[in-house]
Structure 1
Amino acid sequence: MGLMLSDSMINAKVGSEVGDFGRSYYFYLGVQVRLTFQDQVFTNFRELDLEHHAFRWVDIKRFRLFWPDADDVHLLAELIGHEQYRDDCAGGGVEAGGLRQGPYWLRNLSPTAYAHIDEAGAKTLLLGWERQCGPLPAALSGRLKCEVRPLVAEATGRYRLKDLGCEVFHDWGGVHTDFHELILIDRAAGTLSLLVTADD
């Protein structure tokens, strides 16, 4: 079961973060947590001969957990401190010293920016996004079923990025019509996946 987040839990955070070639270390309540980037899977609907692609894409970044017993708050904070999180999701790619993540300024993001979501809710969110322009071709649907569905079904903790409002957009944030971000923690597999679905 995923850990429910509260401001009191987040305010208990102490220490600092250091990034080092795709690896970061958080000293959080005296516990060192290590999260290492594993790989990335990117699916661009435009490359799959889809007439109504609506410029949509799915991006999955997977990380290996070296402290799988660390609670969800620690892991969310570790991810936010990781250089792979510093991605504007609009073609600019990862910037080690970047100040943006998705549509928001990085400074506005913390574990409290994420809300717990159950498996049914995550599936409904993703299916609604996938089918907004009608059913997908069998090949694309099968690819998403293989790459995305297991991450949601097997996760022991699921979190979605809240709608934080345009007040905290970065200087050109809001270019995506439909932006969804999920963090999927699988303790059995020792992995954390950052899943983004959007359009450009």
Structure 2
Amino acid sequence: MGNELTHEGSAFINFRDYKFQDSRSHGFRWVDIKHLRLPAESVGDRELLAALIGHEQFRDDYAGGGVLPEGPRHGPYWLRLVTPDVYESISREKGVHILREWVDPLWDVPAELEADLQQEVFGRLAAADHIYYLSELGDEAIHDWGRVHDYFHEFVLIDRSAGQITLLVAADD
């Protein structure tokens, strides 16, 4: 691919920053969102997934180390085992269902958190042309300390009208 993806910005929603009415701890639940500009040339979804996997912003273990340009890990997985083929194309409805289950409908979600989730997560799901979900890769793909996450949900949102691909990770650790 001649033109590469360009990182445009990121957002981070940490549940710890919101006041919950119940006494449960929400300090280790968060959503990390990375926006990248699509290349000028028209390419297919598989090529976009490959370009995303090859981008330095993808080299994030999501465990406090941040992006490591030469890092061997992606979330709980060895980077070398993450390929476009491990992503499942899913519907908007399935994406919303997975995320709402994760947010947990039993919690009284603070209005400020719900507004931020609507803007940064659910609104982007609704606008995406295609949604890909990272399938469970199995034990052999988990890196040496990759089980730090209780939950790890990864979505790739392709929004061609906005010219963006968004990497969205929702996790607990």
Out of 52, 56, 64, the position equivalent to 1:83 is 56
Q: Per-residue deviation at 1:54?
A: 5.4
CA deviation map 1:96-150 (0-9, x unaligned): 1000000000010110111101110001011111126523111111111111112
Residue 46 of structure 1 corresponds to: 16
Aligned-partner SS, 1:179: strand
Alignment match, 2:144: 171
TM-score when normalising by structure 2: 0.94
Q: Residue by residue, what CA displacement relative to the aligned partner does 1:132-181 show, whole Å, maximum 9, x if unpaired?
A: 65231111111111111121001011000000112210100111111100
CA contact (8 A) 2:14 2:27 kept: no
Cα RMSD (Å) of the superposition?
A: 1.3
Q: Which moved more, 1:45-54 or 1:182-191?
A: 45-54
Q: Which amino acid aligns with 2:15?
A: F
Larger helix share, 1 or 2:
2
Alignment of 1:83-102 (within 5 A): 83-102=56-75
Please give the alpha-carbon distance, in whole angstroms, between the structure 2 residues aligned to 1:125 and 1:113: 17
**Alignment correspondent of 1:67:** 40
Helix, strand or coil for the counterpart of 1:174? helix
Higher RCO (CA 8 Å, separation ≥ 6 residues): 2
Matches within 5 A, 1:1-200: 27=1, 32-50=2-20, 51-52=23-24, 53=26, 55-67=28-40, 69-131=42-104, 134-200=107-173
**3-state DSSP of counterpart to 2:146:** coil
Cα distance in 1 for residues equivalent to 2:106 and 2:154: 20
* Letter matched to residue 43 of structure 1: I
Calculate the TM-score normalised by the size of structure 1. Answer: 0.81
Specify the SS of the correspondent of 2:151: coil
CA contact (8 A) 1:33 1:74 kept: no
